[in-house]
Structure 1
């Protein structure tokens, strides 16, 4: 889940690339794994934009790796990409199930583009969650959905319930991380200017049904938009954060 400009799509794409070529995510946020097939459905992006992001995020050597063919990018900008319509699975969901056979991971960005229900309606969002559970079951892949925060999250972007819409989305997720831009108070403690603080993003592990709790991590945006793991002054207070973003797993 994300408000614009936080970097959630860049992080999600880095997760996808890292799974495919077997490298650590964000320079160490998550360790490297075996190489896997990944399907990334980009509801707001064009082929050209995704290709440019890939070019910026891959080294010259990585661009030549044969395993990149296992990264399936579905650029859906300007197209109907509903997976659930009026509470029922669509033909696109069936097509996605077929494309994702053998995949280890499916990323859906953003989930608001993928259904036409009222996101504040618990019943409608429960039906959407059920559709994603079915997608995971039929493909054997983990499913990541990206979603926006609510306005109240300005006060506490690290809350499990900072997501926009019905809590059915959060309740249905097994793992959730929130992203939020560094605030002015934290920037002052860390010696960052007000302009520079927007390049630093807090990552909070707010829900993990199958994982042990992890402390907050900090990421820094590079000139290409990618997020990289960094270490900040340990004396800084946690503070509040703004510009929240969530990734729901």
Structure 2
């Protein structure tokens, strides 16, 4: 072989192969591997988050991501339920890159009161880094140094874009390089690493769940868990969907925002995502009346309205009262009946009015 040909395959000329050698694990046979019992990491949040894994929370602007992550941190650090799910008690570190200290303090006080978590707060450490954000490659060694040996079960980054340092979030190579240090942190500390990211512009419900986060598809592939918070058609309600690498994903469910917490809204249909930017659900008296079968109790009527139209309980109550005020229904004891209406046309004036149907007209009505 000629010298020129030899030089073509000179591995020293390939930059990626001239990097310092990393210590790699040994290659083992499948049987050797099976003979080495592996300890499963703790399931910090029932059915959703394991220790030593990466989880991304993604949502649109004003989807209360910081409140959600603070709630998560308080729940794990005090062993109380989060979003109706059991948690394993563990020490939490919250890296706050966005909210100024006075406002973060206020949120922490309000959230702990709302969750009935009494002071002194335990197992919840805070690192206020607003104004100190830097490239993740520069900051991560300092984070690992501070966290090593501290026994953190969960480390939360809020928000992750503060560490991009000018990187193009649409460039797959740049984002893979950007996210890798988070994996290193999880491996070296044994903590669940949680980070928040924003949705891309546009209507989130028009995209598949994994495609809603802004930037490269690497965001959808890198984390072990992708949890999205997408607007429901009902105001201040959000559909939660999860894609999980190591657990069976829970069925989508709906949370309703009520300052300062998200609370389960089991009565809302998670399929009813907000379908138009700026649009609010339009529910009518006619819709709630159409769900009534004569002789239903209030509870039966409400259940039918929720199932057929996706009403929230509060929306049903409001429209039921409107239906009563407009004389569309009447109560007979503990049951409800429609009051049929007919249109009456006046040929002299050309006007059409709605009036209650006479007994002989009710079948027609």
* 1-structure distance, mates of 2:239, 2:252: 7
User: Residues 62-211 of structure 1: matches in 2 within 5 Å?
Assistant: 62-65=117-120, 68-77=121-130, 79-84=131-136, 89-90=137-138, 92-101=139-148, 102-116=151-165, 117-156=167-206, 159-183=209-233, 187=234, 197=235, 199-205=236-242, 207-211=243-247
Normalised by the length of structure 2, the TM-score is 0.55
Given the alignment of the two structures, is residue 25 of structure 1 paired with residue 82 of structure 2, yes or no? yes
Confirm or deny: 8 A CA contact 1:157 1:180 kept in the other structure.
Answer: no
Confirm or deny: 8 A CA contact 1:157 1:179 kept in the other structure.
Answer: no
Confirm or deny: 8 A CA contact 2:204 2:230 kept in the other structure.
Answer: no
For the residue of structure 2 that corresponds to 1:55, the secondary structure is helix
Confirm or deny: 8 A CA contact 1:18 1:32 kept in the other structure.
Answer: yes
Confirm or deny: 8 A CA contact 1:55 1:63 kept in the other structure.
Answer: no
Matched residue, 1:212: 248
Kindly indicate whether structure 1 or structure 2 has the higher relative contact order, using CA contacts under 8 Å at least 6 residues apart.
Answer: 1
What is the root-mean-square deviation of aligned Cα atoms in Å? 2.0
How many angstroms does 1:41 deviate by?
1.0
The one-character-per-residue Cα deviations of 1:186-214 (angstroms, maximum 9, x if unpaired) are: x3xxxxxxxxx1x2111111x11101021
Confirm or deny: 8 A CA contact 2:92 2:124 kept in the other structure.
Answer: yes
Confirm or deny: 8 A CA contact 2:254 2:270 kept in the other structure.
Answer: no
* 2-structure distance, mates of 1:52, 1:159: 33
Confirm or deny: 8 A CA contact 2:60 2:230 kept in the other structure.
Answer: no
Unaligned stretches of 5+ residues in structure 2: 1-57, 278-365
How many angstroms does 1:215 deviate by?
1.0
Between Structure 1 and Structure 2, how many residues are aligned?
215
The one-character-per-residue Cα deviations of 1:64-117 (angstroms, maximum 9, x if unpaired) are: 24xx3421112222x131242xxxx10x22221133231111111111101221
Normalised by the length of structure 1, the TM-score is 0.79
* 2-structure distance, mates of 1:239, 1:14: 25
Unaligned stretches of 5+ residues in structure 1: 188-196, 244-249
How many angstroms does 1:148 deviate by?
0.8
Kindly name which structure, 1 or 2, has the bigger radius of gyration based on alpha carbons: 2
